């Protein structure tokens, strides 16, 4: 039996740890959106609920604390006496406050020592009696009135007791049940309790007409506490506590008006259901789950209340980013066209690495002539596409100046123009975006221009890297197409054919003892040169047609646009990240409601 209880406790502690972890994860998520104002309150609730769960875990093996709370004159003390079966256990009477101490009832004084020590108050009193044998697993607590003349003195100890309670019996006077002050006082504690942990009692029901009680007062009271606590009560027990004392001592004019009394049902719940070892464990687990679920429900309600406005903000941000990127690319194209004439040098450099034979030698020589002819300063200021070409040319006259331009985005006219256009669009749209965010619960400080541009650091470098990759990709693809084996054979064949023919004639004459004249070799040289140059000229026309600067850049811009379409954004604004966090919580809340 003891082994089964220990196993049940271990399993229960695991479930409690899981609930606590859920709250900690929610708190961590909320911490990623510090500018969302509702998240601050929810994060505080997470911490408070976690502290309450820690308290439940600490007292897990102790007896279940069942606390009676209610306003002055509601009959809490009388109900305690009736449940225990001892008329004078807790003082009753007409003087207010009737109970000016916290009464803890247990089978033996030692059962309540820990609770009394934790409450640490001079108005806590322990009472025990052999009759408490029926409450082996439960401590019954009678609290001072919450609305008497000693209100300020009583409230702190009542609040401490409720915080350490596992169940509440909320006692209301049936003759005046809609006491708003009592409902409001309990409202902040109700989230900790649910189902059987929250018992509502209408006392003195014998003083009212039975039809009125059942058909009017009880339904009206249930609706009253539902509105006040935002949660419905599972059930309300209509009782007469006094008639269940050993000596009710009725006033002559205060005899019961009817026999309808649910006290036995309440006593059955307390003595036979609640007073079980297994029930104590289950109830504490349920209270922990209720704490967790309450915080998650609050979080879900808050994010769903703001979801439509925040979704509108997301759409505005997406539209602004799209427009900003389009304007950035336009700025690149407008300011960078005149700087792209050096791309043909890079094309010939790439071809020289791929081509073989006489035509490969011609391409290599031509690439070198182009480099010396145009200078590095005119090459790749726009795209800074291939670093290895820059390194090879670093020894030339203007290499130092060129490298400075390539490695500092601020000196790159194209990237500077792109960033300028991007920045202007973001600033133009930020007031409307900020307005939507503030309506969705964000702090008004996000109106600051600095927040609009807070994620643009490194924009030019990021865009330049994407552009470089797009440009390199197009150059590689085109030069690969121009360097295919059939193309190389086609353009090398005329020169190689004439060279082979002249070589065959030379060898034939040499072995036959006849020597060719110098004019033959001169004519052969010019013939090979003319064919080679003619072939190279035709190849240049093909290169110009297939890999012209305009063609390369046009395709590179198309590729750049495609790549940008698949990116979330270049501007990693932290406000946008926080917005995504809140909407992710909204999506989770929506999924739970479906």
- Chain centre distance of CA 4: 40
Q: In what order do the strands lie in the sheet with 198-203?
A: 124-128, 102-106, 138-142, 64-69, 167-173, 198-203, 236-238
Tell me: pLDDT of 382 over 50. no
Domain map of the chain by residue range?
A: 62-275, 306-593
Tell me: pLDDT of 251 over 60. yes
Model confidence over 330-360: pLDDT tens digits?
Answer: 777 666 544 455 677 788 888 888 899 888 8
Model confidence over 471-512: pLDDT tens digits?
Answer: 888 888 888 888 889 988 999 898 888 888 888 888 888 888
Q: Is 195 left (phi over 0), alpha (psi -120 to 50) or beta?
A: left
Model confidence over 13-36: pLDDT tens digits?
Answer: 888 899 999 999 999 999 999 999
Q: Among 3.40.30.10, 3.40.50.80, 3.40.50.300, 3.40.640.10, what is the CATH number of 62-275?
A: 3.40.50.300
Tell me: pLDDT of 309 over 50. yes
- The pLDDT of 521-549, averaged and rounded, is 86
Give the CA radius of gyration of the chain: 44
- Residue 128: phi and psi, rounded to 5, are -135, 160
Q: Specify the pLDDT at position 262.
A: 92
Q: Specify the pLDDT at position 561.
A: 74
- Among 203-212, 391-400, 470-479, top mean pLDDT goes to 203-212
Angle, vertex CA 54, rays to CA 49 and CA 57, nearest 5: 125
Q: Specify the pLDDT at position 451.
A: 62
- Residue 172: phi and psi, rounded to 5, are -125, 145
- The pLDDT of 442-463, averaged and rounded, is 71
Q: What is the pLDDT confidence band of residue 396, given thresholds at 50, 70 and 90?
A: very low
Tell me: pLDDT of 381 over 50. no
Angle, vertex CA 486, rays to CA 482 and CA 492, nearest 5: 85
Query: What angle, rounded to 10 degrees, do the helices at 277-336 and 413-439 form?
Result: 140
Bridging pattern class, strands 138-142 and 236-238: unpaired
Contact predicate 139/115, CB 8 Å: yes
Q: What's the CA gap between 311 and 262, in Å, rounded?
A: 52
Model confidence over 405-419: pLDDT tens digits?
Answer: 334 443 456 667 777
Q: What is the pLDDT confidence band of residue 282, given thresholds at 50, 70 and 90?
A: confident
125 forms beta bridges with: 103
Angle, vertex CA 311, rays to CA 306 and CA 314, nearest 5: 130
Tell me: pLDDT of 99 over 80. no
pTM: 0.63
Instruction: Report the half-sphere exposure of 184 (CA within 13 A, side-chain side).
Output: 4
Residue 9: CB atoms within 10 A of its CB come to 14
* Nearest residue to 433 (alpha-carbon basis) of 423, 447, 422, 453: 447
- Chain centre distance of CA 215: 48
Tell me: pLDDT of 543 over 50. yes
Q: What's the CA gap between 594 and 578, in Å, rounded?
A: 25
- The pLDDT of 430-448, averaged and rounded, is 87
Tell me: pLDDT of 387 over 60. no
């Amino acid at each position: 039996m003891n082994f089964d209880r220990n196993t049940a406790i271990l399993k229960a502690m695991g479930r409690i740890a899981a609930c606590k972890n859920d709250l900690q994860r929610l708190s961590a998520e909320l911490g990623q959106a510090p500018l969302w104002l509702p998240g601050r309150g929810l994060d505080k609730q997470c911490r408070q609920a976690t502290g309450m769960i820690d308290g439940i875990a600490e007292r897990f093996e102790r007896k279940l604390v069942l606390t009676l709370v209610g306003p002055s004159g509601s009959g809490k003390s009388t109900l305690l006496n009736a449940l225990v079966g001892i008329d004078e256990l807790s003082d009753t009477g007409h003087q207010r406050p009737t109970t000016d101490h916290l009464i803890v009832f247990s089978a033996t004084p030692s059962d309540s020592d820990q609770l009394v020590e934790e409450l640490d108050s001079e108005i806590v009193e322990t009472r025990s009696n052999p009759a408490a044998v029926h409450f082996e697993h439960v401590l019954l607590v009678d609290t001072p009135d919450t609305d008497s003349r000693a209100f300020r003195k009583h409230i702190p100890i009542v609040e401490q007791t409720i915080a350490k309670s596992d169940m509440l019996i909320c006692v209301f006077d049936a003759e005046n049940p809609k006491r708003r002050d009592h409902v409001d006082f309990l409202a902040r504690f109700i989230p900790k309790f649910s189902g059987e942990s929250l018992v509502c009692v209408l006392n003195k029901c014998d003083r009212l007409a039975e039809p009125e009680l059942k058909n009017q007062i009880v339904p009206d009271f249930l609706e009253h506490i539902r509105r006040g606590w935002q949660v419905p009560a599972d059930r309300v027990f209509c009782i007469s506590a006094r008639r269940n004392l050993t000596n009710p001592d009725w006033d002559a004019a205060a005899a019961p008006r009817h026999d309808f009394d649910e006290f036995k049902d309440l006593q059955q719940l307390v003595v036979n259901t609640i007073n079980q070892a297994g029930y104590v464990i289950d109830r504490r687990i349920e209270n922990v789950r209720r704490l967790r679920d309450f915080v998650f429900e609050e979080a879900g309600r808050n994010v769903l209340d703001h979801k439509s406005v925040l979704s509108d903000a997301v759409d505005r941000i997406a539209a602004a980013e799209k427009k900003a990127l389009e304007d950035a690319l336009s700025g690149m194209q407008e300011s960078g066209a005149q700087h792209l004439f050096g791309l043909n040098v890079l094309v010939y450099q790439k071809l020289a690495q791929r081509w073989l034979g006489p035509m490969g030698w011609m391409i290599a020589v031509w690439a070198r002539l182009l480099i010396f002819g145009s200078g590095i300063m005119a090459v790749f200021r726009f795209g800074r596409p291939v670093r290895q070409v820059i390194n090879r040319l670093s020894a030339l006259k203007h290499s130092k100046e060129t490298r400075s331009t390539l490695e500092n985005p601020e000196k790159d006219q194209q990237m500077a123009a792109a960033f300028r256009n991007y920045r202007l669009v973001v600033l133009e749209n930020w007031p409307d975006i900020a307005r939507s965010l503030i309506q969705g619960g964000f702090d008004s400080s996000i109106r600051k221009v600095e927040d609009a541009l807070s994620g643009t650091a490194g924009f030019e470098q990021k865009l330049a890297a994407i552009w470089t990759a797009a440009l390199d990709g197009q150059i590689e693809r085109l030069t690969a197409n121009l360097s295919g084996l059939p193309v190389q054979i086609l353009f090398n064949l005329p020169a190689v054919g004439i060279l082979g023919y002249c070589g065959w004639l030379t060898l034939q004459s040499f072995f036959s003892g006849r020597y060719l004249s110098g004019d033959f070799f001169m004519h052969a040289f010019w013939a090979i040169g003319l064919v080679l140059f003619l072939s190279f000229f035709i190849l240049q026309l093909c290169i110009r047609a297939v890999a012209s600067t305009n063609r390369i850049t046009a395709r590179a811009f198309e590729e750049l646009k495609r790549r940008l379409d698949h990116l979330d954004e270049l501007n990693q604004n932290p406000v946008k990240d926080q917005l995504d966090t809140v909407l992710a919580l909204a999506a989770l809340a929506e999924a739970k409601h479906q």
